Amino acid sequence: MSSRVDPLDPAIAALRDGARGSGAAALVDLTPEEARERVSGGDVACAAGPPVDHVEDLLVPTAPQASPLRVRRYEHGAPHATLVYAHGGGWVTGDLEYADELCRFLAARAGLRVLSVEYRRAPEHRCPAAVDDVDRCLAWAAEQHRDLPLFVGGDSAGGNLAAVVAQRRRDLVTGLVAVYPVLDHDTTRDSYREQQDGFPIGARDMAWFFDHYTDPDQRSDPRVSPLRGVRAGHPPTYLLTAGHDPLRDEGFAYADALRALGVPVRHDHEPALCHGFLRTTGPSDGARAARDRLVEAVAGFVRDQMSVQQ
């Protein structure tokens, strides 16, 4: 597959131009609290997800004397599998509302029981706190929902957490779903140079996220850069990349590394879309169409892995 880049979706290009002409401060000039407020304000650019039979917020116990995790369960009809899902937001921003639309679609149209995790965020809780939270939710799900195969997934920084946990919990995970994930810290790849000033994130923004999440001497650790932890026995993987994304090339490198080890991989690429395009499904016809393709692809990926297990 080619890491093709087509002209940016017109509706997203209009959002980019509007943001750049607004005079708003750059992300890197914000405090984490200000960045969280801005990202939460962006929820209005997401299309509403479909009705789901059951949406419930749960408190999942973690380590003794530690606060429980807030987890949102989505369930529609009789699910075929359970997906533990980690939202995006650069490990610093984002919350359960961030991925609500996609989680609803995955429950209603892909037949998944989705458990969306409100993991601890940086810089108050630096790496590996978020990894440990997703890991604990996965272990809890394996105990509570033994009836169905267990998948782990996420987008952006959440895709990073999911990839790390998939490597750690190969014994529990039937498959990994990674949507434009952070997989490495190497900013010298072509996609980083091309998207130096990319929308909605570029190279400086990624550096800001990394600086809040982890120390420089930790970034080659597979808990931060899971591309560096790929090994035999990795769970089958569904991967989605976007053309206008500084993370594009590390996604292709991850798919290549998995295939070299014989790991089943489905890799889809959206050449006209940007990182975080799922946050633009309100104004962008292209993003909505890609979201629908993603949901259909995940449903097919889950069915394929279940048929292998039978």
- Does the active-site annotation cover 225? no
Of 132, 155, 184, 245, the active-site residue reads 245
- Among residues 76, 95, 156, 244, which one is catalytic? 156
Is 275 assigned a catalytic role?
yes
220 an active-site residue?
no
* Neighbouring residues of 107: CB distance < 8 A, sequence distance ≥ 6: 52, 74, 75, 76, 79, 113, 114
Structure tokens of 189?
A: 């790849």
Between CA 221 and CA 90 the distance in angstroms is 17
Tell how far CA 234 is from the center of its chain: 18
Nearest CA to 60 out of 72, 74, 70 is that of: 70
* 62 C-beta neighbours (distance < 10 Å), count: 18
Query: CA angle, 178 as apex, 173 and 183 as ends, to 5°?
Result: 105
Q: Which residues pair with 178 in a beta bridge?
A: 154, 239
Secondary structure of residue 229 in the 3-state scheme: helix
For residues 158 and 85, is the Cβ–Cβ distance under 8 A? yes
* E-strand stretches of the chain: 54-60, 69-75, 81-86, 112-118, 150-155, 175-179, 237-244, 265-274
Enumerate the β-bridge partners of residue 34: none
CB 189 within 8 A of CB 249: yes
Separation between Cα atoms, residue 280 and residue 290, nearest integer Å: 11
State the catalytic residue, choosing from 76, 87, 244, 275.
275
Contact 251, 160 (CB under 8 A): no
Report yes or no: 86 and 159 within 8 Å, Cβ to Cβ. yes
Q: Annotated catalytic sites, by residue?
A: 156, 245, 275
